Amino acid sequence: MNDPDFLDFEQFKPMLAAILTIAVCLVIHAFVLFGVLRWQVRFRRRFPAARGAWLVVPSILLATVMLVASSFLQIGIWAAVLWQFGNFDTVNDALYFSGTTYTTLGTGKHVLVSPNRVLEPVEATNGMLAAGLNTALLFSILSSMAKKRTDYDDFFR
């Protein structure tokens, strides 16, 4: 307990940065999810007769583009944090590490040193949460389209 490094603020900086970064990223993602849902409602009101491919393709395509853009933005935010705390030679290395960590691909090409190692699992958690939310949203969109039609044959005309 008398260890002078016990309350060293430098040790806690990466954890605080990780908490703040995941909070910012999840708020951004929540706004994008809201935007996707809002666009879905507007699209269906504007084109009530849309069916089959004319309904599914624009709905899923725009939703997917918006969700991917949100993920790329979050990867960029994490890369900026990693660039600050990590030991990367270039910004591209930080982006690569961030992308592989966010998607939980993980190549092992770069390794963060203590106490900065905490950033990696928090970013991976952020990516897993976002991927789960994305999957749930896309499934919800498809499910709600199918529920509106009592006859699937009518849906695909």
> pLDDT of 36-48, one tens digit each?
999 999 998 898 8
* pLDDT score recorded for residue 154: 58
Give the CATH fold of the 15-45+53-145 domain: Helix Hairpins (1.10.287)
Question: Mean pLDDT, to the nearest integer, of 115-132?
Answer: 93
Domains of the chain, by residue range, sit at: 15-45+53-145
Share of the chain above pLDDT 70, in %: 89
- 88 three-class SS: coil
Does residue 23 carry a pLDDT above 70? yes
Containing 11, the helix (H) or strand (E) segment is: helix 9-46
> What predicted TM-score, i.e. pTM, was given to this entire model?
0.85
Does residue 2 carry a pLDDT above 70? no
User: Which residue carries 């199918």 as its tokens?
Assistant: 146
